Structures are given as C-alpha cells and as structure tokens.
Structure 1
C-alpha cells in the first residue's frame, strides 16, 4: 500500500481581476430557487498529461498558478460566482448578492505520481476528501457558489476538485463557466461563449401549496461501477431499431439496464410501483425567449419521472424497458409546457426520496470532458453526486484511453449488491 500525503499549501478567496461596477443583487429563477438544489455538487477532474499544449507566459508555470489567475479573470464575466446567496430558500426568495467576496481556491501538492494512485480510478487510493476543497471552519459550503482545489502531483499531472452549488447553475452552466476559466488559462482574451444571466426569462408559474416535507431516510446504498463497451451499446441500439424502427441513445440503454437490474436484484413486489427520475435539459424548449447565442448558465431542466409496475420492469425484455424510458422522454415538451403555464396540481420539482425511486445523472454531454487548462483534456472525471437517501446512477466515461460508457451506481444495499452486479453484467 502506497503511503500518500496531500498537503494544502495555501487557501484563500480569489476575487475579480478587475474592479467591478456598482453593487447589484441578481434575482434567481423559479427553478434556481427550488429548495432541493441548495446543495453542493462535488467532482474530481484528473489531468494526467505532462506536456503543456499552450505556450504560457512562463514555460515553468504551475497548473495551480495558471488556474488561479484564470479563475480571477473569469469572475469578471461571471460575477455571480464571486457573490453570496441571500434571502430564504424555503420561502422562495433567495437571490445572489454580487458582493465580490470571491471564490474559494486551494493549492495543494501530493508526494506521489498519478500512476502511483492508479490515475485515481476506483477504488480510490487517495480519499476524495483530501482532493476536494473545504472552506474555513464554521463556513457553510453551500453559501459559496464555487470552490476549487488544484492538487499537483509529482509526475506533472494534476487534479482539479470542484464544489459548485447547484442553485446558481445546472451541469451545462457549471461546465460553461469552467470552460471559460480554461480558455483564459490558455491565453484567450475573451470567452468563446459570453455568459447570459436572463433568469427572468425562465417560466415562473404560480406557487403551489407546499407538500409534505421530503423524507431523508438513510438506505446505506453501496457503490458499484461498471464499464460497458461501445460495441455492446451499439449492438443494443441496433436491436432496438430492428424491433421498433426507432433510434435510442446510450443514455436510454444505460438507464433501462440499471432500472431493470435494480428491480430484479431487490425483488420488489411485482404489483408495486417503481420509478426512475432524470433531469432533462429544456433550453431547446425555450428558444423563443432565451437568447440565440447560447450562454445561459442557470438551471434550465425538468425532472422527468417514468413510473411502471415492478413486474413489468422485471419480466420485460431490455428493449421494452428502453421503450418505457423513451416514452417518458417523449412527454417532456408537454409536461414542461403544462408546468410553465401553471397547469399542474403537484410540483414536479418537489422530489420524493423513496427506496423505489432511482435518480439518474448524465455527465457525458455537459462539457466537462472538453475542459483544457493548457495541458490537454481530462483523462478522468469522478462525480460525487451521491447522498445516502437517494438511489443514484451516474453516467460518465472510463479513464482514457479506454472507450465506452461508465455507469457509477449507489442504489442497492449490501444484501442485494451481488445480485445487482450479476444483473448488470448480463445485458441479454
């Protein structure tokens, strides 16, 4: 076992590189203000590339120095990330005060190479807690919109630990901001995509009476990761097309497989309901109101929930379960428009964290895999979106140069884990 030491050399707030205009308070959208979004999304981004792909002013510049300076410059365009949340989340009155207090930034070093820790592939040899930034003692991490830690390894590679509060941006928006940092790190004079606040353009239907408070029972779900080859995914897509005459996506295949494998492993009562919930981007449904130049980085998604009788999910073929997922996705435009018009009786954003609900998050198309601070794109991204009261499946990619889809789960208890693994390894 390798004895690894990670040392945090410095930590402080990074402020805007240029003086800001007058103080202002920014109103959040109805989706931003969803109480359940006031949590921190944590992730590790591993850069094993040793050679710089960009000519920095200083050829010997360290990644932490470069990224810190780029972050300061990016905050000029994304001032909200240097601000603080004020107001009541529960009452739906939260907003962002552009206080310019800054983003929390930590510089750290590890006394080993990334090869020594297997490129941070699972199982992790270095705890994520050592590689993710933590604020000063007594500070609520959900009060700071963005925190970063850059840990440099002896091999020249580095890891960027990100902690972002979901209230300010969804996955696409957070990736847009991080890509802007990387563009400044590579010496660009302005971001490729200019940020747009425009929260007032997001639908703001009348508030519904609050439902019962959600349950946060701990289920002690266990972690399991599996890599699925591209050839296998392509084969299943072809099978689906042959059976239905329609196309399906990698997302559809992966979600259907996890949902079915979980139901089989847990052996739900065949007459009970099981649900799968995923968060669909809705920017394409707001093209009439959102600016055409992209750039909107707020929360712009809708929770799509697919419900079925457990017996149907367990006994159906995988093709039929994929069809259930696609039918749910097809309802998105109608369901979102009804919510926007206030034509719903139950708030779809008020989620139920029950044992029979599987939540799915897809990290493959957000834009994080395209980030390049000047040393190449990340070789590996590890999201930590897990909470012990949620059954979760996260779609990502295996560490390069491997190809395919990585499915990271935390959705079954120890007593069901072996059955779940066996089900996940059998796609037919």
Structure 2
C-alpha cells in the first residue's frame, strides 16, 4: 500500500562544512544588456527562491571521471562546467531589477551565480533508506544558502556541491523561479552535465525570446482563472500555517494506481491519466482530512506544462526556450459535496480543468497579469499540484551516474508535488504533501481506505 516515508533512520550527526563560497561567472565574455521577462515569468508567486536537491552515490564504474588514475574532484568538474554553461545561459549570471510598473528586468552584467563548495563527514549508507523526503538533515544541507531579503540585485542561482566521506555527493540548488521553470532548470543542468562529460557545446541551444509569452495588445482575459485572487491587493492565507505542518511523502506504484482506478465508474477507468487519478484522489483525501466547512469552496489548481506538442506549436515557442511555460487550471467544488460524492466526481472535475488547458488559456493568463497587475495565486481552500515527473531532473548526470533522488526536499501547506521515483526496483510516483500532524494522520487513513478497501464495500 502507499505508506508515508518514515523518518529516515539517520545514524550520524550531519554537519556540513562550508569550504568556499564564490561567484562563478561565464567562462567567456557575454553580452552586457538588459532583457525583459515574459508576463508568464513575472508572476508574484514566482518571485522567490525554490530549493531542489540531488543525491549521488559513488560510482566506481565511471573511469572517464578519473584523471591520471585519480578520481576527479566533482566540485571542480561541476564548477568548471557551470562557468562554461553560463556562456550560453548568461542571463542567469545577471541580476534582477524593476522597470516600469514594477515589472522585472534582467541586467545581464555577468556578476555570476553563487557557488558553494562543502564537505560532510557522512557516508551515503548513514543517510538511511530510502532516500526520499522528508530528510531529517535538510536544514543542515540548505543552511549554507544566504537568506536574501527578496530577489532584486541578488544571485539568480545558488548552487552547493557537498562531498560525502564515501565519495558520493549532494547537489543542492536554490533557483529564482521567474528566470526559468522546472523544465528550463533541467535543460540548464543537463547542459552542465554534457559539458562536464566533455561535450564542447549544448546539444540543445538555449533560447530567450520571452516576448513570445507577453500579454497581447490589447490584453484580453478570455478564460475563468479561479487559481488567482481577483485583484493584486487581495490578501488570503492557506487553511493552516507552515509552522503547524509536517512533510511526508507517499509512494504510488502500479498496484496503488490500479487500486485507485477500481474506485472509478467504468467510463472513467481507462480514460484518465495517472496524473488525473492521483490528483483527484489526493484532493478528496486532503479535503476530508481537513474537516472543512461543507459550504466552503475548495479547489485543486493543476500546474500544466505548456510544452505539450500541440500547445507549444500554437504558442510558436522554439526548442530550447527555457522560460516559464506553464499555467494553472482549477477544479472547484464545495467541500461537503467533494467529500460526500464518490471519487469519480473529483475525477470528472479534474479532467474538465485539464481539458481547458491550451495555448489560449496561457495567453489569457499572461493578459490577466497585466490587466490585474500580477495577482497572487489563491491560497485559502486551494491545493496546488505540481507534477515534475517529466522534466528530466532525474537524468542530470555530471559523469558519476544518475541520482538516487532528484526533486524538491520539501513542500508547503498549499502545494503538493509529484516526483518520479523508484522504490525497491519498482517505478512509480512519490507524492510530497504538507499538513498538520493530526490532519496528516487523517489523510493517511482516508488514503488507506481508497487503496485497500474494494469499491462498494
């Protein structure tokens, strides 16, 4: 059954010793210019730093990563590859500033990205198994990152490489989401990996062209965007605060997915995707666990990647575009109705929301950012789902093989995240969720009912 990841059995004191903190600049001169972000990039909810983490075991089967019989230092390899990759992705080495009406601009001044070299006197085996969130030592890993007051004038990418005593390594990143989405981050890191392994230039050339996702002239909102507040000045809060909550992750393999499908009516069993299935299931169980007022309106906002073949063609986005190409589409219901009705009700709502996601929806969202002056995402009663299983983060290889885990180290009260993951040799999806402890226990009980109790009993 899908069970939460237990607190990892961690058998050592995890102390990260920061050796060097420096700015890595492009390896060659790059244009000194100011670039505009798109209106999809320039959302208030993206104006912050978002952490990601990769764990790599020592790989003794990679002789190419040896130099004169001695293993190469991963810190030096990655840092050099980073500098060379920034020649192509030079805006990432710049700094953000505000232009007219507070819109963000990128000053491509080549000041560099922050690079931290560190060591931890801990072996991979001591981290415990499985390697999946929540990590009891995550604060020690992320504590070397500076806590900037905002993102203006600060490095846009923070990278830390931690050598482990066993020869493994941990890569931790804080990235500024307005500069790139998860797909763009994966494209950049895979470029670093290619260069680290000896390729002279990227196999996919990066493309800026952010004007392609600017608001139209004149802007016009053509869709209903439940996912955003009505006005930029509106204020709301999630149903509980971060300090009340804990993180857990749940693995869904083929058996769990089939068990959930068994709760659907016949016309939905074979017509829903795995993402739709998990989203409907988690949304329903989460709402039940929160014991909300039956009359309160709740919603699940699905983050859809606009790089789907049909959408990206309609948007005229070229290969290599690494800016944000996503939008949210929300399924909405009263809490009481969602909780009382069978799972098929939630599934129908999720499928309907997903069907609305096309190029016009993304253009309407860009127009909304201009007309409504960049409103924030709605938080109260909202559950935002981000699926990163197809971004290629787990393919990032600097020459030492593929990571044991690749994805966010945590999530937040209003956000769930689906990560590609392998458990005991079985491919599946790891769902990260954040809830207060008592609510988390009820959530697990509701999830267990769906996965272990046959439909109709």
Shift of 1:215: 3.0
Whether 1:418 aligns to 2:418 is no
Whether 1:72 aligns to 2:83 is yes
Aligned to 1:275: 299
Q: State how far apart, in whole Å, the 2-side matches of 1:176 and 1:134 are.
A: 23
Q: State how far apart, in whole Å, the 2-side matches of 1:216 and 1:343 are.
A: 20
Aligned to 2:53: 44
Residue number among 340, 355, 362 corresponding to 1:330 in the alignment:
355
- Given that 2:327 and 2:365 are in contact with CA atoms closer than 8 Å, whether structure 1 keeps it comes out as no
Q: State how far apart, in whole Å, the 1-side matches of 2:19 and 2:367 are.
A: 52
TM-score (norm 2): 0.84
More moved, 391-400 vs 339-348: 339-348
Quickly say closer, same or farther: Cα 1:141–1:64, change in 2 above 3 A: farther
Following superposition of structure 1 onto structure 2, how do residues 56-205 of structure 1 map, counting pairs within 5 Å?
56=65, 58=67, 59-87=70-98, 91-118=101-128, 120-131=131-142, 133-135=144-146, 143-205=154-216
* Structure 1 residue runs without a partner (length 5+): none
Question: Cα deviation per residue 1:97-146 (whole Å; 9 max; x = unaligned)?
Answer: 111011111111111201101154345242334346513x8675662211
Quickly say closer, same or farther: Cα 1:29–1:207, change in 2 above 3 A: farther
Shift of 1:177: 0.7
Following superposition of structure 1 onto structure 2, how do residues 156-305 of structure 1 map, counting pairs within 5 Å?
156-205=167-216, 206=219, 210-216=231-237, 219=241, 220-237=244-261, 240=264, 242-244=266-268, 246-284=270-308, 285-292=311-318, 294-305=319-330
Q: State how far apart, in whole Å, the 1-side matches of 2:398 and 2:449 are.
A: 39
Quickly say closer, same or farther: Cα 1:124–1:236, change in 2 above 3 A: closer
Shift of 1:277: 1.1
Question: Cα deviation per residue 1:270-328 (whole Å; 9 max; x = unaligned)?
Answer: 23211111221223424145344x10011111121111121221122223322211111
Q: Secondary structure at the match of 1:283?
A: coil
More moved, 271-280 vs 376-385: 376-385
Q: State how far apart, in whole Å, the 1-side matches of 2:258 and 2:63 are.
A: 36
Q: State how far apart, in whole Å, the 2-side matches of 1:9 and 1:180 are.
A: 26
Residue number among 376, 399, 402 corresponding to 1:350 in the alignment:
376
Q: State how far apart, in whole Å, the 2-side matches of 1:173 and 1:302 are.
A: 15
* Structure 2 residue runs without a partner (length 5+): 1-10, 222-229
TM-score (norm 1): 0.89
Shift of 1:416: 2.0
Q: State how far apart, in whole Å, the 2-side matches of 1:52 and 1:241 are.
A: 49
Aligned to 2:13: 3
Shift of 1:237: 4.6
Question: Cα deviation per residue 1:185-237 (whole Å; 9 max; x = unaligned)?
Answer: 11111112110001011141439994424335662233222112222214545
More moved, 3-12 vs 337-346: 337-346
More moved, 418-427 vs 77-86: 418-427
Q: Secondary structure at the match of 1:321?
A: helix
Quickly say closer, same or farther: Cα 1:92–1:302, change in 2 above 3 A: farther
Aligned residues: 420
Question: Cα deviation per residue 1:210-268 (whole Å; 9 max; x = unaligned)?
Answer: 44243356622332221122222145457758433752222112111111011111222
Q: State how far apart, in whole Å, the 2-side matches of 1:385 and 1:94 are.
A: 27
Q: State how far apart, in whole Å, the 2-side matches of 1:321 and 1:138 are.
A: 40
Shift of 1:345: 7.9
Q: State how far apart, in whole Å, the 2-side matches of 1:189 and 1:161 are.
A: 25
Quickly say closer, same or farther: Cα 1:216–1:309, change in 2 above 3 A: closer
Aligned to 1:393: 416
- Given that 2:65 and 2:400 are in contact with CA atoms closer than 8 Å, whether structure 1 keeps it comes out as no
- Given that 1:240 and 1:248 are in contact with CA atoms closer than 8 Å, whether structure 2 keeps it comes out as no
